[in-house]
């Protein structure tokens, strides 16, 4: 394997869905990704604007750039800040030859994050079915939190609610979320009476359905559509019909199989939209209330709406709490590049 950033060169050249000219164009743009960090306007322009600057062919944009970035950031290229799109490629593809690797849990997430798992960490208590309805603020500090019809008190408080809930529970902190928008994700779950594929996963090019995941023996498949605005108002039956039609174009066995069950999950508020110009409006972890801090992927984590961004926001909030308590500590590790 060649050293980074050329470590993907062999597999990239073998891609069958781009012609040689398109590969050359993508290669030139990949080289430009490394130089783009010197620019100061990348949060003000869209990723599509940047790709057009790099003279990317339409098929290369649709089949290469869009397929990766819409899934990674959950937003369309013309609605996505170039800074975030370039960050994904710089960190995930170019930084190191192992930068693309990720950990996959071998147990269900319900077990990984269960109450018992938290108890092993230390003095942690989970209060389920106790939604927070109000943060009670007296002057410059929080007195308590109304959750499940009772007031819970502590020394420091971290609010990790989504942005649309902040003004309802803590209007006094004055966080302006007027520039924030949601971007949806749709998952289509299909159960067949027989196996229709033996692939563990696949990407479906030039279609509404973007990714296929083989959940169980080729009989239970999940299709995922990020930034799925075209599906949010579509009736459930039409979504399923479209999914079956597009899936059959790649996996002919679908045509002869019987669909035993189907489920459509539309997450209308899946993530915030990482649109151009939004970075200036993302709040930091500190608030104007001394003992109240913010966390969540929508805060100023330095990352777009990803699980990594959410985790980073939690670490940053923890650092802010400890600093306020007079015991500063660092949890954030440097990016891989």
Percent of the chain with pLDDT over 90: 76
Are 191 and 264 in contact, with CB atoms under 8 Å apart?
no
State residue 119's pLDDT score: 84
Binned at pLDDT 50, 70 and 90, residue 35 comes out as confident
List Cα–Cα distances, 227 to 39, 278, 309, in angstroms.
27, 17, 18
In a domain, 34, yes or no: yes
* DSSP labels, 123-155: S----TT--EEEEEEETTEEEEEEETTEEE--S
Are 168 and 200 members of one domain? Answer: no
Percent of the chain with pLDDT over 70: 99
Are 232 and 216 in contact, with CB atoms under 8 Å apart?
no
* Res 337 pLDDT > 70: no
Least confident window among 61-65, 94-98, 246-250: 94-98
- Stretch 243-270: mean pLDDT, rounded? 97
Residue carrying the six token digits 């079915």:
129
Kindly report the pTM of this predicted structure. 0.89
CA angle 40–333–125, rounded 5-degree value = 120
Helix (H, G, I), strand (E, B) or coil at 331: coil
- Stretch 21-44: mean pLDDT, rounded? 92
* Res 36 pLDDT > 90: no
State residue 37's pLDDT score: 78
Q: What is the pLDDT of residues 119-135, one digit of tens each?
A: 888 888 888 888 999 99
Are 268 and 186 members of one domain? Answer: yes
Number of compact structural domains in the chain: 3
Binned at pLDDT 50, 70 and 90, residue 255 comes out as very high
- Stretch 307-317: mean pLDDT, rounded? 92
Are 254 and 226 in contact, with CB atoms under 8 Å apart?
no
What does the mean pLDDT of the chain come to? 93
State residue 211's pLDDT score: 96
In a domain, 25, yes or no: yes
Are 294 and 231 members of one domain? Answer: no
* Res 4 pLDDT > 80: no
Are 239 and 286 members of one domain? Answer: no
Are 81 and 161 members of one domain? Answer: no
In a domain, 330, yes or no: no
Are 268 and 284 members of one domain? Answer: no
In a domain, 337, yes or no: no
State residue 8's pLDDT score: 84
Are 48 and 17 members of one domain? Answer: yes
Long-range CB pairs of 50-55, under 8 A, 24+ apart, other chains included: 50/82, 50/85, 50/86, 51/77, 54/25, 54/28, 54/29, 55/25
State residue 336's pLDDT score: 60
Q: What is the pLDDT of residues 194-239, one digit of tens each?
A: 999 999 999 999 999 999 999 999 999 999 999 999 999 999 999 9
- Interacting residues of 170 by C-beta distance below 8 A, sequence separation 6+: 134, 135, 137, 159, 289, 292
* Res 76 pLDDT > 90: yes
Are 176 and 186 members of one domain? Answer: no
Identify the domain boundary among 94, 119, 150. 94
DSSP state of 54: T
Binned at pLDDT 50, 70 and 90, residue 146 comes out as very high
Are 306 and 176 members of one domain? Answer: yes
CATH of the domain at 289: 3.50.50.60
CA–CA distance, 233 with 117 (Å, rounded to integer):
39
In a domain, 168, yes or no: yes
CATH of the domain at 202: 3.90.660.10
More confident of the two residues 260 and 307 = 260
In a domain, 334, yes or no: no
In a domain, 13, yes or no: yes
Identify the domain boundary among 94, 118, 150. 94
Identify the domain boundary among 63, 94, 125. 94
In a domain, 1, yes or no: no
**Domain residue limits at 64:** 9-94
- Stretch 140-165: mean pLDDT, rounded? 93
Are 295 and 236 members of one domain? Answer: no
Helices (H), 180-324: 229-232, 236-250, 253-256, 307-324
Are 260 and 220 members of one domain? Answer: yes
* Res 291 pLDDT > 60: yes
Are 204 and 263 members of one domain? Answer: yes
């Amino acid at each position: 394997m060649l050293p980074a950033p050329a470590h993907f060169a062999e597999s990239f050249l073998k891609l069958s869905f781009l012609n040689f000219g398109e590969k050359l164009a993508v290669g030139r743009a990949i080289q430009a990704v490394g130089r783009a960090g010197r620019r100061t306007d990348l949060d003000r322009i869209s990723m599509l604007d940047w790709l057009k600057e790099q003279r990317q062919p339409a098929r290369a944009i649709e089949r290469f750039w869009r397929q990766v970035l819409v899934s990674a950031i959950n937003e369309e290229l013309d609605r996505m800040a170039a800074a975030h799109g370039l960050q994904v490629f710089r960190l995930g593809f170019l930084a190191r030859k192992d930068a693309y690797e990720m950990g996959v849990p071998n147990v269900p997430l319900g077990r990984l994050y269960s109450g018992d798992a938290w108890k092993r960490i230390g003095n942690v208590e989970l209060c389920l079915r106790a939604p927070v309805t109000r943060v009670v603020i007296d002057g410059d500090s929080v007195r308590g939190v109304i959750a499940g019809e009772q007031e819970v008190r502590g020394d420091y408080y971290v609010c990790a609610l989504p942005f649309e809930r902040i003004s309802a529970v803590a209007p006094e902190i004055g966080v302006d979320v007027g520039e924030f928008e949601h971007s949806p994700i749709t998952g289509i779950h299909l159960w067949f009476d027989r196996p229709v594929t033996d692939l563990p996963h696949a990407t479906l090019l030039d279609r509404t359905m973007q990714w296929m995941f083989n959940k169980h023996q080729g009989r239970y498949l999940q299709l995922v559509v990020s930034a799925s605005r075209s599906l949010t108002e579509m009736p459930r039956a039409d979504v399923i019909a479209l999914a079956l039609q597009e899936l059959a174009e790649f996996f002919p066995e679908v045509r002869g199989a019987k669909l035993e069950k189907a489920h459509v999950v539309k997450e209308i508020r899946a993530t915030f939209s990482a649109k151009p110009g939004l970075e200036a409006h993302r709040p930091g972890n500190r608030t104007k209330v001394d003992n109240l801090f913010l966390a969540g992927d929508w805060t100023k984590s330095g990352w777009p709406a990803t699980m990594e961004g959410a985790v980073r926001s939690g670490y940053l909030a923890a650092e802010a709490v400890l600093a306020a308590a007079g015991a500063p500590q660092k949890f954030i590790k440097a990016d891989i590049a």
